């Protein structure tokens, strides 16, 4: 018996067609050819996907569970995505809903190297949520972004990340920005004594990402942000392997384009790939995630029952100071609150506003 794992799809279909649809997905995501044309018995028994369960949700959709062969994944995170959703993503009535990642793949990909415990140990932060903000807007000169970073750090925030729009543009080269922002945050840290971390956004192809990560390390930094859906899963896998001391923050950009359930993509898969923290759109902000989607995503990110470390959930996307208490009650302390634009509105008073944010998180009485 070969190693297999269950993949769950939600399929919009009528009851008369669902059995055939389910069988078609099982074939599409494994051998992608008529079974009648396969004369190798081992392929039919060991490789072809098997429909294990079909459940009617009663809303015009069915949950289809398909059993897939782990051997088809090989060692490659990109191929993993290819095997679970490659061609089926082209059907606009199918959503990839869940994957029961087998122990062999969990061990292969490895999950967070640091995760929540590693980040807590690095910053010495216990018993409260983390705080963070973002450097924006792109187009601002690196020295102006560095000024912002220094104000945030002087306010006592834990993390200051690049906006995911900051790449290596003519108006703001990565090397210039990162050395300026790292120096600015280091100045503030010397004064405040609080170990604020600056998180550069890593972009480009794998060579460029590695070069940026080396610059990041040379600037004395130990955190970096990556975008798995744009960089490609295999690139993230390579970075996790090559930069073991880096804590990786995963950004969800382009994450909506593939019709993969957010709790699976951002909560489970980004963590599986090695994200130590996962940024996601909080409910009630600029994006349309429901509270139960966020709860499910966070449960996936923090799980430890598979032997991997828990990843830090980072709800974001239009958060405000006024919502701090409510967000903390919803997510609990193993969370990082990311407030970007709302803090920037304070302009000259950014350090004070950041300090108020840090205080409200530190003093929050969890219900």
List binders of its own copies among 252-271 (CB under 8 A). Answer: 252-260
Exposure string (b/e) for 279-301, b if CB count within 10 Å is 16 or more?
bbbbbbbeeebeeebbebbbebb
User: Does position 46 bind its own copies by CB under 8 A?
Assistant: yes
Closest approach of Cβ 204 to its own copies, in Å? 5
Q: Give the x/- contact pattern for its own copies in 191-230, rule: CB under 8 A.
A: ------------xxxxxx------------------x-xx
Q: What is the DSSP string of 17-39?
A: THHHHHHHHHHHTTT-S-GGG--
Q: What is the DSSP string of 256-293?
A: TTT-B-HIIIIIIIHHHHT-SEEEEEPTTSSS---HHH
Closest approach of Cβ 133 to its own copies, in Å? 11
The DSSP code for 132 is E
The bridge status of strand 61-69 relative to strand 4-12 is antiparallel
User: Does position 305 bind its own copies by CB under 8 A?
Assistant: no
In a 3-state reduction of DSSP, which class is residue 338?
Answer: strand
Query: 136 to 155, contacts with its own copies by CB under 8 A?
Result: 136-140, 144
Which stretch, 213-221, 287-295, 301-309, 359-367, contacts its own copies (CB under 8 A)?
A: 287-295
Contacts of 98 (CB under 8 A, 6+ apart): 7, 8, 261, 263, 264, 268
Q: Which is nearer to its own copies, 122 or 147 (CB)?
A: 147
113 membership: H or E segment, kind and range = none
Q: Give the x/- contact pattern for its own copies in 306-345, rule: CB under 8 A.
A: -----------x----------------------xxx-xx
User: Does position 36 bind its own copies by CB under 8 A?
Assistant: yes
Q: Which is nearer to its own copies, 256 or 333 (CB)?
A: 256
User: Does position 357 bind its own copies by CB under 8 A?
Assistant: no
Closest approach of Cβ 342 to its own copies, in Å? 8
């Amino acid at each position: 018996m070969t190693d297999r794992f269950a993949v769950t799809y939600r399929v919009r279909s009528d009851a008369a067609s669902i059995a055939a649809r389910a069988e078609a997905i099982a074939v599409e995501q494994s051998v992608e050819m008529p079974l009648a044309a396969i004369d190798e018995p081992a392929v039919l028994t060991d490789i072809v996907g098997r429909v294990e369960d079909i459940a009617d949700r009663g809303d015009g959709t069915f949950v289809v569970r398909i059993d897939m062969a782990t051997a088809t994944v090989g060692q490659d995170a990109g191929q993993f995505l290819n095997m679970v959703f490659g061609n089926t993503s082209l059907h606009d009535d199918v959503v990839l809903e869940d994957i029961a990642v087998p122990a062999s793949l969990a061990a292969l990909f490895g999950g967070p190297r640091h995760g929540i415990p590693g980040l807590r140990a690095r910053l010495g932060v216990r018993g409260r949520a983390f705080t963070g903000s973002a450097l924006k807007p792109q187009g601002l000169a690196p020295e102006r972004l560095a000024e912002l970073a220094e104000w945030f750090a002087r306010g006592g925030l834990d993390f200051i990340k690049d906006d995911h729009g900051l790449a290596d543009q003519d108006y703001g080269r990565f090397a210039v920005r990162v050395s300026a922002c790292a120096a600015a945050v280091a100045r503030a840290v010397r004064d405040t004594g609080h170990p604020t971390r600056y998180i550069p956004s890593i972009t480009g192809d794998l060579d460029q990402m590695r070069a940026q990560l080396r610059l990041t390390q040379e600037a004395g930094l130990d955190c970096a942000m990556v975008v798995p859906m744009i960089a490609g899963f295999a690139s993230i896998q390579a970075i996790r392997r090559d930069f073991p001391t880096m804590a990786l923050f995963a950004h969800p950009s382009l994450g909506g384009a593939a019709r993969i359930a957010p709790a699976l993509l951002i909560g489970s898969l980004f963590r599986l790939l090695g994200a130590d923290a996962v940024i996601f759109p909080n409910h009630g902000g600029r994006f349309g995630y429901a509270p139960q989607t966020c709860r499910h995503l966070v449960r996936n990110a923090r799980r430890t029952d598979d032997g991997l470390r828990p990843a830090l959930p980072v709800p974001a996307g239009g958060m405000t100071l006024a919502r701090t208490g409510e967000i903390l009650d919803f997510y609990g302390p193993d969370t990082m609150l990311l407030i970007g634009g709302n803090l920037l509105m304070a302009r000259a008073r950014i350090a004070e506003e950041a300090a108020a944010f840090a205080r409200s998180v530190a003093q929050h009485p969890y219900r």
